[in-house]
A and B are shown apart, each in its own frame.
Chain A
Amino acid sequence: MLEIGSVKKSYGDGAARVPVLRGVSLELGAGQTLALTGESGSGKSTLLHIAAGLEAPDSGAVRVLGQDLTAMDDSARATFRRTEIALVFQQFNLIPSLSVAANISFQAALSGRVDQPYIDRLVQALGLADHMKKYPEALSGGQQQRVAIARALAAKPKLMLADEPTGNLDEQTADAVLDQMLELVSLSDASLLVVTHSPKIAARMGRTLHLAGGQVV
């Protein structure tokens, strides 16, 4: 599903150049879950962005569903991301001017694959049914996070990438949201890569990789 080989990435120029990833490799098979852990600044989020095709690596290979993301142009990468990958951001990244209902179906609608009964089931499962007509600003952080998860799952991705998906939630809500996410991912047979600081969340994943100093340790 996801193959990352010897990926390197640095930021800045000249003397100010800071290496963030120093040859990271990983593999994630279909239906598998993986936690990426590490200190702040260890390169977790950068690796996630590279896996999603949001950023290009300086060198190395990134293959999703057998396709080399680094060989694609911006437009092809965007199309691939729209149809095969879903992202859950730490800051939710909902569209503030769209209602909760429109936000949830947004990515699915972009790729022309709105499965309304499936979305209705997701909404019920994530406890969002009473909030569908509201706008994101009227929701709590936990509710917004659930909308972001619903949006990602509604697109029926083959690969789901989540950056601290429960980082803004209290422990109880975080557990509930994670339960729902894992259940829904397993139902759709998608792969899940989660970036987290939390050992508890990492323990719920099939595998854990720890990043330190830009390398898998």
Chain B
Amino acid sequence: MIRTCLVALLSHWRRNPIQLFAYLAGLAIATGLWSGVQAINSEARASYDAAAATLGEGQFDRLIPRQGDAIAQETFVVLRRAGWLVSPVLDVTLNDVRVIGVDPVTSPTGLGGVTPPEGTSLFTTGPDTRLFANRNSARALGDLAQVIIDDTVAPGIAIGDIGAVQRLSGRNDLSTLVLLPEQPLVQPDLASIAPDLRLQPSQQVADVAQLTDSFHLNLTAFGLLSFAVGLFIVHSTIGLAFEQRRGMIRTIRSLGVPLRVLVGLIVVEMLALAAIGAVIGILLGYLMAALLLPDVAATLRGLYGAQVSGTLTLRPEWWLSGFLLAMLGTAFALAGRIWQVASMPLLASARPRAWVMSGAARFSAQAIVACVLLSAAAVLVIVAEGLILAFALLGCLLIGGALALPVIAARALAWIERGATRPIWQWFWADTRQQLPGLSLALMALLLAVAANVGVSTMVSSFRLTFVGFLDQRLAPELFVQAETPQESAALDAFLTREGIEALPLRSTPTQIEGQSVRLFGVRVGSTYRVSWVFLAERPQVWDDVADGAAVIVNEQLARRGNLWVGDMVEVAPTVTLPIAAVVGDYGNPQGQVVMSEALFETLHPDSYPGQYGIRTDDVTALRQRIADEVGIAKNAMIHQAAIKAASLEVFERTFTVTAALNVLTLGVAGFAILMSLLTLADLRVPQLAPVWAMGVTRRRLGGLELLRALGLAGLVFVFAIPLGLALAWVLLTLVNVEAFGWQLPMFLFPLEYLRLGAYALGAVTLAAAWPALRLIRTPPAALLKVFANER
């Protein structure tokens, strides 16, 4: 019985291959997009974990210099002799690779988890410069050192004996001292033996995994949205398949198959097919992730300075989660239909048309749920704080909007229908309204895709506009010159002063403020700063106070993370606490910054010198030549402002490549959902179209009307998607962005961009509707005549 019954159930798919394709493809796309995003996330997280394991960051307390970034080797010796159990670390950057030197004997993590190959010593002696790194880092280091490949070392990092790293970097000092977990009970006070050092508790170290959490949450949200769109296809296909099989199910039951056996077999059948779709999806997800990972790695590097491996590993956490989610999603879509089958009277009508036509009850329930969700969104707008609630708000908004769409569309079509006078158009609008229940899931998928596109493109374009303005502000000087040595810097300063050229020398050093790693800048306050810089918040006479050394300016990242604002006090040095005079927007930079006057900076860091000069000039080429000739600075140390601007914009564009790719994919999936819905509904349409054809409307005209119907509905969706997308953008810019990146952005509107998106959406729908319309035009009259045959 079981085999016979299964054969009968599966025969449905053999006779309806398009439906089978829609089911498998819907699941494959949903699983693919979800698991692809999860693959990217898990690869990034694995990189962060590898970095944490390699560096021990966040695990141990450290001693760090109060000023600057170097600790004298003698200080280490003094501390050890005094009973402080510390391990030295030297942290340098060579060829864009972070090279960490540790002492394998005293380091609590050994050599950062590295296991040297047999016959290879951890220690290096004499001129030996052996390092351990993964393949990519080894390639970047080139001939600089002897590198032993070890793929467990985090990306962008090389690790080695501290002696080797000191030799490689030409340094004889240390960066930090790691405090071992076990310390003697009695120790001399740190301030008495090493007053230049301060204790940094482990939890205060910038945790890149924590910093990037929001980015990954964004990606996950996109993955989930795509998954939802894919599931709409699955839901729609399952619904149609069940309706088409009502007759079969009734017959099988009446021929003596118990209901629970039949239900069990249907569940097994659908889940087995779902498993096939999910496996295909996981393969697609792997491909997608492999293609996108390099851009994601670039994004994470650009936004957070986080190093992520550019190669993908098949990890169970993402492929298993994708598989399970696909099965759960299918089970969810299946549950309602199974319940229908279980509660369907054995002799119930088997006509699928009843399902297609009966939308009224469903629409009422949908309207109520939509109202509840949109009301919840309105409440969340007022009370939402934090990223999770912001995403809950987005969820309520999008799902509420999607559920409201068919209800609003039905009302709109009824209104249009009342205005139609010619019979053919009256039929057309009435027929379109009747198609809504069958098409509603696909239209909702399209709405989500278009709204997400409108929302994200508004966010990105607003960001772009703000970012370009920010670059004009920050890159006001026409020429930037790097000074390699204090002598070079002094010579350049003297030359510029002598020539009366306005210069903006910049001194900087890393430091710790409010428990965060920030960069301290010393600037020469002049007219350029006063004219160009626009603040998010400021008090009067900002630049006068800064020039007097009586106040500082902080960037938005530091302000938001440290919960600081104008008027608050910050400790910029152990004995210097100053008020914040202004908060400045600082986009595309993950690090906190503090800006003070050049004079104050010089007092706090007397050994510093301006390493960079911004120079105002009308003739960049001539001035560049003169500086090269008269000061002796190499031309490659001088950069034209336009080049920096172009490079910055390039980084920015790459940052959003992933978002753009996911946008296109989502729109593609929605187009596919429309195609599948139209194709699977095509057979059910024949009995509706045949009478109209018999009354003299040609197949060609009917095909044209079908295409027009799809376009009309897509147009309606687009009109609805604009306000929904703008609401989405507002939430992204006002709530999510602040939580995720630490910046708040003004929202701009881009009508032409929306029109372009509308054209894309209509294009996708035209492509999707063209095939079913062509099929209709080519339907042989015999197929249409069968509708009228009594014998059927």
Contacts and interface: CB of A to CB of B under 8 A. Distances in A.
Q: Is chain B's interface secondary structure helix, strand, loop, or mixed overall?
A: helix
Interface string B244-275: 00011011111111111100000000000000
Given A54-B346, A102-B11, A106-B4, A96 B247 contact: yes
Contacts of A110: 1, 4-5, 255-257
A55 B254 CA distance: 10
B790 interface: yes
A95 B1 contact: no
Q: What's the interface size class on B, roughly?
A: 20 to 34
A98 interface: yes
B15 interface: yes
Contact of A82 (B8, B11, B255, B346): B255
B582 to A, nearest CB: 73
B256 A83 contact: yes
Interface stretch (A24-32, A72-80, A174-182): A72-80
A97 B11 contact: yes
A97 B259 CA distance: 20
Nearest to A85: B256
Interface in A41-84: 49, 52, 54-55, 74-75, 78-83
Interface residues of A, number: 34
Max chain A Cβ within 10 angstroms of own Cβ: one of B7, B12, B251: B251
Interface string B340-374: 00000011000000000000000000000000000
Interface in A96-127: 96-98, 102, 106-107, 109-112
B259 A75 contact: yes
A83 to B, nearest CB: 7
B244 to A, nearest CB: 9
Contact of B248 (A79, A97, A107): A97
B792 interface: yes
Contacts of B791: 140-142, 144, 168
B260 A82 contact: no
Nearest to A143: B791
A52 B254 contact: yes
A144 B248 CA distance: 15
A78 B15 contact: no
Nearest to B253: A78
Contacts of A98: 7-8, 11
B4 A141 contact: no
B625 to A, nearest CB: 82
Given A102-B7, A110-B1, A54 B347 contact: yes
Contacts of A135: 15
A7 interface: no
Contact of B257 (A49, A78, A80, A168): A78
B248 A78 contact: no
B12 A97 contact: yes
Contacts of B12: 97
Contacts of B790: 141, 168
A36 B791 CA distance: 24
A2 interface: no
Contact of B250 (A83, A93, A140, A168): A93
B347 A49 contact: yes
A94 interface: yes
Given A82-B257, A106-B255, 18 more contacts: A49-B347, A55-B346, A55-B347, A74-B259, A78-B257, A81-B254, A82-B255, A83-B256, A93-B250, A95-B251, A97-B8, A98-B8, A106-B4, A107-B255, A109-B3, A110-B5, A112-B1, A140-B791
14 contacts: A74-B258, A75-B258, A75-B260, A75-B261, A81-B254, A83-B256, A93-B247, A95-B8, A98-B8, A109-B3, A110-B5, A110-B255, A110-B257, A142-B791
Interface of B: 1, 3-5, 7-8, 11-12, 14-16, 247-248, 250-261, 346-347, 790-792
